[in-house]
Every structure is written in C-alpha cells, then in structure tokens.
C-alpha cells in the first residue's frame, strides 16, 4: 500500500472532543485532531498548555472526562494502557523511563514484548518455544542496537548510561516492537545540537519507512520535521497546519512564540 493510499482512509489516530479537568483547573477543552497513517505530526504549545495531559490520555494513563480516542478504526477510550501498547501504540516519556537494572540489550528486548507469547511454565522449564523466542529477541535487539548506535553500550546497565543515550534506548525500545503509532514526548530534551540533528534524521528515516509519529516538543529545530503541526494553548487547539503557516499565525505568535 502506498503512503497516499494509506492516507485515503480513516486516520490512524482520532482525538475527538477531549476535555479534562484537574479539580478546578480545566486542562483540555474539546481538543480534536487527526493523525493520518504514515504521517509525522507534531503537537506544540507553551508550558501548561495540556500537551502531556493529552499524551497521557491518548496512551491510557488518564481517562478523559469527555470525548473519545479512536485508534486504528477502533474506540480505545476505555482501553487500558497495556492493551493500547499491545495494539501498537508505543510511547516514550518526557523523563526517559529506561529499565535501570536491565542491560541496554534487555531494554530493547522488552520493546517487542507485545509479540511474545510463551507462558510461565514454558519459561521455567526452558521449553523449545521459550528458548527460540529469546534467541530471536536477542538477535533483533542486537540489530536495533546497531541501527540506533547503541552497540558499544549494549551490555551496560541502562541506568548507568548517560541521559542522552537513555533517550536513544527509549526510542529504539519503542521502535523494535513495530509500532503502529510512535508517540514521542519531548524527545530532544537534554540533547545537544548535534544529537538533535541526529534525532531529526532518525525521525525522518523512521517516518519514511511508514511509521506514524506523533511528536510533542518545545524544540522548533525538531518540530519543523513534522508535516502537520497542532498548537495547543490553555487546553484548546488554536492553530493547525504546516510549520510555515503556523509561524505566520497571529494567535500562535502571540500565545506561543511571544511576538
């Protein structure tokens, strides 16, 4: 299927009229937008705009008080975090959440958890299926380490590698499971200019391979890789479009860029 065909049908992710309130504070007000398949979409907004809340609602860590989330032509509003993960909705976190006591390779092996099936008894008895599964996973993780430049730290404990590398571990871990939607929360946070350029190239490459990406970032040098940008301000979408359009939008300049 070509990318043009993929985009012809229903969007991969549809956020429809999502509202959320923490006590007396209305964080999201009827937010709606679509993420088409194989697209690279960005969500930007000033601090406190509600980006992380929306991210947590899409990935299932919060339930919206109003509205619905549709993913892959199915309503997932009431689905648990793990069932969304199993459905291929993968995310990274604003503060990298690597499995600190696992090696980098084991972290990546966990990324493909949704495709594994062996049971506890088979695992304990090291039955053939369990052994084959682990061997396959190990090989796949090593391949991913190669691809994401993690080969040298592959056997190191993830909690002891630098924070910048932990970001790559998280990204590689989310990628290895073959995500339908890759949601990245501030992926450039803590990276230097050269590393941001590498990340930019990596996102473009992943997207070119057909992976749908939804990106939340403050970093304009990263956000301009997105084809479609949505601007969230005080819980509402105030503008949507290509980056050049967004930069010309009066409301955005006032609310977000401060000019």
Partner 1 sequence: MPPWKAALLWGLVLVAWAALPLVASRHIVDLLVFAGLYTIAGLGVAFLLGQCGIVNLAQSMFYGIGAYCVAWFCTVKGLPSVFAVTAGIALSAAIAALVGWPILRLSGYFLALATLALAIIGQVLFLEWDWLTGGTLGIGGIPRIALFGFELDSPQRFYFLVWPIAAVLLLLHHNLLHSRNGLALRSMRDAPEAAAALGVDLHRLKVQMFVLSAMLGSLAGSLFAHYVTFVSVDSFAVDRAISFLLLAVLGGVTTVWGPVLGALFITLLPQWLSRLGDVHAVVFALALIAAVILLPEGFGGAIRNRLRARAVK
Judged by beta carbon, residue 122 or residue 197, the one nearer partner 1 is 122
Euclidean distance between CA atoms 69 and 198, whole angstroms = 32
Place of tokens 């190239």: 201
List 3, 21, 29, 114, residue binding partner 1 (CB under 8 A): 114
| Binding flag, residue 85, partner 1 (CB under 8 A) | yes
Euclidean distance between CA atoms 18 and 205, whole angstroms = 31
- Residues 202-221, one symbol each (x = binds partner 1 by CB under 8 A, - = not), give --------------------
- Residues 134-153, one symbol each (x = binds partner 1 by CB under 8 A, - = not), give x--x----------------
Buried b (16+ CB within 10 A) or exposed e, 25-57: eebbbebebbbbbbbbbbbbbeeebbbbbbbbb
Euclidean distance between CA atoms 237 and 134, whole angstroms = 45
Euclidean distance between CA atoms 103 and 113, whole angstroms = 16
| Binding flag, residue 128, partner 1 (CB under 8 A) | no
| Binding flag, residue 116, partner 1 (CB under 8 A) | yes
Would you tell me which residues interact with partner 1 (CB under 8 A)? 59, 61, 80-86, 90-91, 93, 97-102, 106, 109-111, 113-114, 116, 118-120, 122-126, 130, 133-134, 137, 159, 170, 173, 177
């Amino acid at each position: 299927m070509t990318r043009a065909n993929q985009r012809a049908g229903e969007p991969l992710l549809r956020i429809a009229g999502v509202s959320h309130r923490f006590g007396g504070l209305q964080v999201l007000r009827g937010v709606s937008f679509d993420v088409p398949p194989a697209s690279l979409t960005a969500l930007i907004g000033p601090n406190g705009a509600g980006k992380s809340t929306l991210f947590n609602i899409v990935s299932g860590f919060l339930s919206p008080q109003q509205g619905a989330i549709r993913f892959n032509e199915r309503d997932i509003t009431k689905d648990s975090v793990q069932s969304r993960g199993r459905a291929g909705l993968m995310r990274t976190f604003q503060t990298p959440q690597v499995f600190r006591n696992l090696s980098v390779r084991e972290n990546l092996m966990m990324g493909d958890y949704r495709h594994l099936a062996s049971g506890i008894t088979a695992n304990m008895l090291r039955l053939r299926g369990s052994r084959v599964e682990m061997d396959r996973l190990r090989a796949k993780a090593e391949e991913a380490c190669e691809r994401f430049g993690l080969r040298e730290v592959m056997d190191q404990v993830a909690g002891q590698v630098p924070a910048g590398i932990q970001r790559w571990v998280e990204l590689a871990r989310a990628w290895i499971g073959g995500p339908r939607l890759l949601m990245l929360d501030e992926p450039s946070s803590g990276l230097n200019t050269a590393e941001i350029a590498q990340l930019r190239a990596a996102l473009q490459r992943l997207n070119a391979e057909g992976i749908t990406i939804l990106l939340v970032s403050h970093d304009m040098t990263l956000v301009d890789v997105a084809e479609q940008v949505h601007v969230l301000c005080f819980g509402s979408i105030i503008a949507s479009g290509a980056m050049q359009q967004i930069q010309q939008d009066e409301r955005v300049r006032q609310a977000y860029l401060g000019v």
